[in-house]
Amino acid sequence: MSQTCKLSNVLEEYIRKNQRLKWNTLYLTKGTWAKLIKAKGDMVIGDFTSNIAEDFQASLFDEGLKPGAVKSYIKMTMCVTSWAQRRGCLDHNPFEGFKFPRVPQKEIRVFTEAELTAMIEAAPNDFCDMWQARIIAAASAGLRRSEALNLKVSNVDLDRGEIRIQANKGSNEVWPYCPKDYESRRVPLTEQLSQLFVRILSELPPGQPYWLLTEKRYWHLQQLRKKGKMSPRMMVNPDDTCSRRFKKILRNAQISDGSYHDLRSTAITRWLLAGLAPQEVQKLAGHSDIETTMTYYAACRPDIVDRARQAWSIGATGLEPATS
């Protein structure tokens, strides 16, 4: 490759050289590059300057995208341009020193004890109360949706009370899967979830390796896999009805807002409130950096304003009124 390669050719070579990209990263990268080419044309990579980068960001805002989405597109573009620079296609990265748009901090949603109880009661009474297990797995062990749906029987140690989150290469029975940030970790298995797992295990049919997928769904995906029709997206999210069904559970529980991922946020917040150090919570949550964990640390102290007010004491500061 050289500086005379067009943007479309650079993307093709980037994908060919980085075949371990996750499906969502690949999907976003292709979408980002398509927007870039649409906005600036399929130019040669050597003409990609800092001015072009600024114009591209402006075009994203012109589409009506929010700052968070614009920032994501720019980051995905940077991944490719950084790679192109290392390959000698660019003298310098056009995004070097680039100022990202400021993104408003989204408030972290934490479910109350009453809300969690209402969800569990509203969960459908399907196979061995599997939906109850899905809810408790995220709310007590901090599992992401993909981690819960890809949880294998071999990943759970009922005797030690542990759940192992780890990648698997795939086999005839299971499809390949890798957790976010490629992190392997151990998380607690609560007594309530353990009891649900024991019930599920007693009813799992032979050859069914996943805790939280129904037999019907598992064998449907296996048939798609044999035909070469199971996409990488399906492997990450083997139940595409999960979010929709969880929203229905919230409605039945008369909870106005929230998502399945907020169950994980609830677990992380509870760990911090229980006194675990941020570094310990970072390990349990599988965060790649401590900064992500610290956003939950701030969110789990709703009394921060009251405590700050109490910290002000005239007598304690030496500013008490003078007396004659």
Which strands, in side-by-side order, build the sheet including 162-165? 156-157, 162-165, 185-188
User: Tens of pLDDT along 22-49?
Assistant: 777 888 889 899 999 999 999 999 899 9
Task: Answer with the one of 215, 243, 262 that is the final residue of a domain.
Answer: 262
Task: Answer with the one of 234, 262, 290 that is the final residue of a domain.
Answer: 262
Average pLDDT for 113-123: 94
- Do 214 and 131 have their domain in common? yes
Q: Given a cut of 80, is residue 94 above it in pLDDT?
A: yes
CATH number for position 238? 1.10.443.10
- Do 154 and 58 have their domain in common? no
- Do 120 and 72 have their domain in common? no
- Do 81 and 151 have their domain in common? no
Report yes or no on 173 lying in a domain. Answer: yes
Average pLDDT for 275-303: 82
Higher per-residue confidence, 21 vs 279:
279
| pLDDT tier for residue 67 given thresholds of 50, 70 and 90 | confident
| pLDDT tier for residue 129 given thresholds of 50, 70 and 90 | confident
Q: Given a cut of 80, is residue 307 above it in pLDDT?
A: no
Report yes or no on 79 lying in a domain. Answer: yes
Report yes or no on 309 lying in a domain. Answer: no
| Secondary structure class of 319 (helix, strand, coil) | coil
Question: Of 132-146, 216-230, 259-273, 291-305, where does mean pLDDT reach its minimum?
Answer: 291-305
Q: Given a cut of 60, is residue 59 above it in pLDDT?
A: yes
Q: Given a cut of 70, is residue 315 above it in pLDDT?
A: no
Report yes or no on 106 lying in a domain. Answer: no
Average pLDDT for 127-153: 93
| pLDDT tier for residue 127 given thresholds of 50, 70 and 90 | confident
Q: Is residue 138 within 8 Å of 148, Cβ to Cβ? A: yes
- Do 229 and 188 have their domain in common? yes
- Do 117 and 252 have their domain in common? yes
Task: Answer with the one of 262, 296, 315 that is the final residue of a domain.
Answer: 262
- Do 128 and 213 have their domain in common? yes
Between strands 156-157 and 185-188, the pairing is unpaired
- Do 121 and 245 have their domain in common? yes
Q: Given a cut of 60, is residue 322 above it in pLDDT?
A: no
Q: Given a cut of 70, is residue 202 above it in pLDDT?
A: yes
- Do 177 and 132 have their domain in common? yes
Continuous segment of H or E residues that includes residue 259? none
Cα–Cα separations (whole angstroms), residue 179 to 7, 173, 280: 31, 18, 19
Report yes or no on 123 lying in a domain. Answer: yes
Report yes or no on 137 lying in a domain. Answer: yes
Question: Which pLDDT score is estimated for 302?
Answer: 58
Q: Alpha-carbon distance 56 to 35, whole Å?
A: 9
The residue segments making up the domain with residue 121 are 113-262
Average pLDDT for 130-140: 95
User: Tens of pLDDT along 250-279?
Assistant: 999 999 999 999 999 999 999 988 889 989
Average pLDDT for 50-57: 91
Average pLDDT for 82-108: 83
Q: Alpha-carbon distance 257 to 249, whole Å?
A: 11
CB atoms within 10 A of CB 275: 7
Question: Which pLDDT score is estimated for 184?
Answer: 86
- Do 118 and 217 have their domain in common? yes
- Do 229 and 125 have their domain in common? yes
Mean pLDDT of the chain, nearest integer: 87
Report yes or no on 194 lying in a domain. Answer: yes
Q: Alpha-carbon distance 55 to 40, whole Å?
A: 8
- Do 59 and 148 have their domain in common? no
Q: Taking the model in full, what pTM does it have? A: 0.76
Average pLDDT for 180-194: 88
The total number of structural domains in the chain stands at 2
Question: Which pLDDT score is estimated for 130?
Answer: 92
Report yes or no on 141 lying in a domain. Answer: yes
Q: Alpha-carbon distance 87 to 152, whole Å?
A: 40
| pLDDT tier for residue 289 given thresholds of 50, 70 and 90 | confident
